[in-house]
Amino acid sequence: MIKVVSVSRQFGAGGHAFAQALAKELNVPLYDRQLIHVAAAQLLADGKLTVEKLMEIEAEVPPLGMSFLSFFNFGIRGEKPLNDRMFEAESTVVNKLYEQGPCVILGRCSDFILGKRSDVLTVFVHGSDEYRKQYALDHYTGKPLSVLKDEDKKRAAYYNYYTAQQFGDPANYDLMLHADAGTPESLARGIAAMVKAM
């Protein structure tokens, strides 16, 4: 039985919309990068992150798209580089979200962090250049494909550094989902049916 679905995606492939629709189909919460980021910053600030605190943060975090809170607002100190400490804290948060119950987790290397568990399904959403250009036109005020690919390079560099795996390599995911095959909502319905049947 699948407990958690981890979704990774190319920029402009509709991965966030897919994850939202999938969470709705499965009737479970969606945890995105902003919630994980803020929860990790809180963890670094005081060294504690109870389930109750996590739920409190979840209720208070503004919608995705708002600016991330600065790490330094939380008084983070330490000898390790900040990025490394943040990744470790985010990994702790991802594991706590897993322990909390069924959910969909978007990004933050959650496929790597949780991928060894048999009750986690890892999905990578990708699309053709044409699909991504059109999606950007419809959802990102027409950002050119070059900007989408630049964002993918950043995601890949982060992912590759912290996981020692290749971002988007089919060997690292249970399922490769081609965005061109349908709308995020129709693809979510299909994957939800599969998850429920597993």
Looking at domain 1-28+102-198, does it have CATH number 3.40.50.300? yes
pTM of the model: 0.80
Matching residue, tokens 């699909």? 131
Domain ranges of the chain: 1-28+102-198, 33-100
Summarize the confidence of residues 63-90 as an average pLDDT. Answer: 54
Backbone angles phi, psi at 7, to 5 degrees: -115, 125
The pLDDT tens digits of the residues spanning 99-158 come to 989 999 998 899 999 988 999 999 999 999 999 989 888 887 878 888 888 888 988 888
Let me know: does 81 contact 8? Beta carbons within 8 Å: no
Q: How many residues does the chain have?
A: 198
Element (H, E) at 169: none
Under DSSP, the state recorded for 194 is H
Residue 57 or residue 178, greater confidence = 178
What span, in angstroms and rounded, lies between the C-alpha atoms of 30 and 104?
Answer: 5
Query: Which residues are 66's β-sheet partners?
Result: 64
Residue 56 pLDDT class (50, 70, 90 cuts): low
What span, in angstroms and rounded, lies between the C-alpha atoms of 12 and 151?
Answer: 9
The pLDDT tens digits of the residues spanning 156-180 come to 888 998 899 999 999 999 999 999 9
